[in-house]
Amino acid sequence: MFGALRPLLFRLDPETAHGLTLKALAALPAGRGPAPDPSLETRFAGLAFPSPVGLAAGFDKDARAWQQLLGLGFGFVEVGTLTPRPQAGNPRPRIFRLPADEAVINRLGFNNGGLAEALTRLAPNGRLGVNVGANKDSADRIADYAAGVRAVAPCAAWITLNISSPNTPGLRGLQGQALPELLAAAAQARGETGPPLFLKVAPDLDEAQMDTIADSCLQSRLAGLIVSNTTLARPETLASPGAAQAGGLSGQPLFQPSTEVLRGFARRIGSRLPLVGAGGVSSGAQAYAKIRAGASAVQLYTALVYHGPRLPARIAADLSLLLRRDGFRSIADAVGVDRDLGPGARVQALEPQPPAP
């Protein structure tokens, strides 16, 4: 079905195609999805997911189809980014496909209908997380994050503080000196009994910035780190005409750099704070590489655009073959086994093979 639809969708402007896809999904009954292999269950930060393959934030910003998205076979779904007040975002066009690179560039700028509207569609679910951000014109961005945490706490299994969108001017500055203040304000808004707080960071960080972020995270009551958002870098390998567009790059060209930043955090943080890997995951082998680098779970977005709705179940199936091939009985056994590969070490191509008889 997706094979036949993809050329039609790809003839439409990417944002129009995305809007239609979400509408179609929201109109479907929410299926239960294929049951993943029990070895794929992953537990961290007090959460338990049947598969470590999740949907990254931004696909369902306004929480319109999260039940249906869970039904595609994702182990967990993160909606948002939601800001306190509705926001139009940047002028269109603002999403660009880079088909030759299996990538996307977006400069949406946190377009969303605001917290209050999305809350009408949220319901408590152990596999549903909410990603919150700050309005572009906010006079107090930290207060926006605190307001987001307070608002969604009753119906989010976890809350992600997104301080790494490249499309809200100055937002990534929160990864620096202001980070301890942000984390303290969010922890206070969460209270004693609220859901775990995750922080989502950029892939464009040098060693000193990673040190600072890791220290702040370990000193706060943060429950996990998501590595990473889109990149401002433009690798020389990009071959699509859209490569010069301004915005954040996601998809295949982000896989290697985001995995190295993930490994860098894994080395700094060890098993003291769980990590979630995002950036260019489109196969079981790539999900496995992120897990081996230190992720307890992975998230994807761009690969869904190129490979369609069967992708999460396919990745899960390949991942369980890879675990079995290497003698791991659970995801937890494989987390971080490649953490200490040297900086810049290439991630091995790990093709799934049938299990030994």
Ligand X SMILES: Cc1cc2nc3c(=O)[nH]c(=O)nc-3n(C[C@H](O)[C@H](O)[C@H](O)COP(=O)(O)O)c2cc1C
Report, as residue numbers or ranges, the catalytic residues: 165
Out of 68, 135, 220, 230, name the contact with ligand X by CB under 6 A. Answer: 230
How many CB atoms sit inside 10 A of residue 149's CB?
24
Out of 70, 95, 163, 266, name the contact with ligand X by CB under 6 A. Answer: 95
| 275 lies in the binding site for ligand X (CB under 6 A) | no
| 109 lies in the binding site for ligand X (CB under 6 A) | no
User: Which residue is closest to ligand X by CB?
Assistant: 58
For ligand X, which is the closer residue by CB, 33 or 58? 58
Residue from 126, 19, 15 nearest 65 by CA: 19
- 42-44 and 47-49 strand pairing: antiparallel
Q: Is the separation of the CB atoms in 118 and 170 below 8 Å?
A: no
How many CB atoms sit inside 10 A of residue 41's CB?
16
- 224-227 and 275-278 strand pairing: parallel
Which helix (H) or strand (E) segment is 197 a member of? strand 197-201
| 350 lies in the binding site for ligand X (CB under 6 A) | no
Q: Which stretch binds ligand X (CB under 6 A): 186-194, 246-254, 285-293, 315-323?
A: 246-254
Cβ 129 to ligand X shortest distance, Å: 11
Out of 21, 67, 87, 131, name the contact with ligand X by CB under 6 A. Answer: 131
Angstrom CA distances, 56 to 80, 229, 278, stand at 9, 9, 7
For ligand X, which is the closer residue by CB, 36 or 251? 251
Please give the structure tokens belonging to residue 15.
């944002």
Q: Which stretch binds ligand X (CB under 6 A): 142-150, 247-255, 286-294, 345-353?
A: 247-255
Binding to ligand X (CB under 6 A): which residues in 314-343? none
For ligand X, which is the closer residue by CB, 282 or 328? 282
Out of 70, 108, 214, 275, name the contact with ligand X by CB under 6 A. Answer: 108
Residue from 72, 184, 62, 165 nearest 112 by CA: 62
Residue from 132, 144, 259 nearest 197 by CA: 132
Task: Tell me the CA end-to-end span of the chain in Å, nearest whole number.
Answer: 34
Residue count, binding to ligand X (CB under 6 A):
26
Residue from 224, 223, 262 nearest 343 by CA: 262
| 279 lies in the binding site for ligand X (CB under 6 A) | yes
Q: Which stretch binds ligand X (CB under 6 A): 66-74, 149-157, 180-188, 250-258?
A: 250-258
How many CB atoms sit inside 10 A of residue 180's CB?
14
For ligand X, which is the closer residue by CB, 199 or 328? 199
Cβ 259 to ligand X shortest distance, Å: 11
CA angle 341, 284, 308 (to 5 degrees): 135
How many CB atoms sit inside 10 A of residue 64's CB?
18
| 302 lies in the binding site for ligand X (CB under 6 A) | yes
| 280 lies in the binding site for ligand X (CB under 6 A) | yes
| 58 lies in the binding site for ligand X (CB under 6 A) | yes
For ligand X, which is the closer residue by CB, 68 or 229? 229
Out of 251, 277, 312, 336, name the contact with ligand X by CB under 6 A. Answer: 251
Any residues with CB less than 8 A from the CB of 332 and at least 6 apart, and which? Answer: 42, 43, 296
Q: Which residues bind ligand X (CB under 6 A)?
A: 56-58, 61, 81, 95, 104, 106, 108, 131, 162, 165, 200, 229-230, 250-251, 254, 278-281, 300-303
